[in-house]
A and B are shown apart, each in its own frame.
Chain A
Amino acid sequence: MSSVLYDAQGPRAKRRNVLYTAAFLVVLAAVVWWVYKSLDDKGQLEWALWKPYLSGTEAYSTYIWPGLQNTLKAAALAMIIALPLGAVLGISRLSDHAWVRVPATAVVEFFRAIPVLVLMIFGMELYSQYTDVSSDDRPLYAVVTGLVLYNASVLAEIVRAGILALPKGQNEAALAIGLRKGQVMRLILLPQAVTTMLPAIVSQLVVIVKDTAIGGAILTFPELLSSASTMSSYYGANTIASFTVVAVIFVAINFSLTSFASWLEGRLRRRKKSTGAVIGVQDAAAIAGTAATGAER
């Protein structure tokens, strides 16, 4: 293998690497042993605490699946509402009219600068004071509101970047054959930009799925993470086991989304048909100002 940083290794480098490997293995083993020891000392490795997850499906059907459903529901709702909103905002930012462009820019920059949690708390209070949404539904509404406000502005930037990445000739040629500005956007620019934005949009989904957990911890939204606390009180304080299971599920979902986004990005970059540059996973992270995800490059 070749790398920026090192050559193919000769006999001395190989010997040194074996030494490093051994040293690192010792450190790693020491850490693993320390973790194992402290878990064992506190009785966290007893079979009874792990049994609900490793044998039988009751824990999954009673706690994890309903929680997971809520997580996915909130994420899906947020995505479905935020996408068109983001598209409108993104296109408005490119408008020729200052009275459209400036407010859209202000909205996008404002909501990108504010933590999702703050937006969620705002939503929670908004629904309880000014609407008659029942108190059971309020957390879901608040979580989705927070996620939509934040992610719509991020998606707006992705849409804008996607359209700006198209070659100028596309716009000029469309205008030259007599299309109106709306038609140029709708018929020529957007359809091309959508494909190039796909990897960025998929990677933004990971951020949404992760952020639903904030609602679970602070707004009593019954999603996957909050089912961990319910479970651990039911199964006899198996905090470590419950959190491990929940974390594994989150990793499984998000890792497959991340990998899919990277795969999509690689595929689009290789394909010569598309005109614009691909808005990839890294670009999405940069735009979101959320170190979202990172693609293998």
Chain B
Amino acid sequence: MFDFLDKYDVLGAFWTTVQLTLLSAVGSLIWGTLLAGMRVGPVPLMRGFATAYVNIVRNIPLTVIILFASLGLKDTLGVTLGSDQVDTQSFRLAVLGLIVYTSAFVCEAIRAGINTVPVGQAEAARAIGLNFTQVLGLIVLPQAFRAAVLPLTNVLIALTKNTTVAAAIGVAEAAVLMKTMLENEAQLLAISAVIAFGFCCLTLPTGLLLGRVSKKVAVKR
């Protein structure tokens, strides 16, 4: 029943999915943390910028962002992200799109984490003379990150599933492979089962594992 698998590079396709996920995860963690820092900071302009960014980006469908990266940035404006190969270009543009989209949610997750830190912590930190950067970097963010593990896990799981949208610009990941296999083989259930199993292997353990981590690292109050 599953002998069609020999003809296709299933592991390769899922490896692309994993690569998309990891690269975008790192990128959006960095950009999202910066945004969160701006969003809770004392400078009104930065706060306004971050708020506007989050509210606009999270309400645009990811598909629109990724298609725009390909049709708008690459085809119209000639942004190639330092590569002249079409495959690499699409991959990098997809990562860029995923970062732009996901960092809005990372920002919200971290801000939710910051909100769990009791005001007294920051007041005590200010009382011993730390400035905003020190309060944020030494006292609040470390506690906030530990509280934000669970929301960030949800973002990561969503990101894993969202990488399939890169299929819209032809990045050869799992959803594209599923489409190709369905076109060539008359085995709807077997093929769907394989792809579904692959995604279950990626998302379910992530949730379980990081769920445990979040319980372990959470600051007991």
A interface list, Cβ under 8 A from B = 3-7, 9, 13, 17, 20-21, 24-25, 28, 38-39, 42, 44, 109-110, 113-118, 121-122, 125-126, 129, 206, 209-214, 216-218, 225, 228-229, 232, 237, 239-240, 243, 246-247, 250-251, 253-255, 258, 282, 285-286, 288-291, 293-294, 297
B interface list, Cβ under 8 A from A = 40-46, 49, 54-56, 58-64, 67-68, 71-72, 75-78, 102, 105, 108-109, 111-112, 114-115, 117, 119, 121-122, 126, 132, 135-136, 140, 150-151, 154-155, 157-159, 161-165, 167-168, 174-175, 178-179, 182, 186, 188, 192, 195-196, 199-200, 203-204, 207
Q: Are A239 and B132 in contact (CB under 8 A)?
A: no
Contact pick for A211, options B61, B112, B117, B136, CB 8 Å = B61
Q: Are A20 and B46 in contact (CB under 8 A)?
A: yes
Interchain CA distance A7-B77 in the complex, whole Å: 45
The answer to whether A210 and B105 touch (CB under 8 A), given A118-B199, A286-B150, is no
Q: Are A122 and B59 in contact (CB under 8 A)?
A: no
The answer to whether A115 and B164 touch (CB under 8 A), given A121-B179, A255-B55, A286-B150, is yes
The answer to whether A5 and B41 touch (CB under 8 A), given A251-B56, A294-B112, is yes
The answer to whether A115 and B140 touch (CB under 8 A), given A217-B67, A243-B72, is no
Q: Are B76 and A291 in contact (CB under 8 A)?
A: no
Q: Are B154 and A24 in contact (CB under 8 A)?
A: no
B142 to chain A, nearest CB (A): 14
Interchain CA distance A9-B203 in the complex, whole Å: 45
Residues on B with beta carbons closer than 8 Å to the beta carbon of A251: 56, 59-60
Interchain CA distance A250-B75 in the complex, whole Å: 23
Q: Nearest 8 CB-CB pairs, A to B?
A: A291-B105, A294-B108, A254-B59, A213-B61, A217-B168, A115-B161, A210-B61, A213-B63
Interface of A is mostly: helix
Q: Are B43 and A17 in contact (CB under 8 A)?
A: yes
Interchain CA distance A34-B43 in the complex, whole Å: 24
Q: What are 28 residue pairs bridging A and B, where the CB atoms are less than 8 Å apart in the complex?
A: A4-B114, A4-B121, A5-B41, A6-B41, A38-B77, A42-B76, A109-B204, A110-B200, A114-B199, A115-B175, A117-B175, A118-B196, A213-B64, A214-B165, A217-B168, A218-B167, A239-B71, A239-B72, A243-B72, A251-B56, A258-B55, A282-B151, A285-B151, A289-B154, A290-B157, A294-B108, A294-B111, A297-B115
A89 to chain B, nearest CB (A): 18
Contact pick for B178, options A17, A121, A206, A232, CB 8 Å = A121
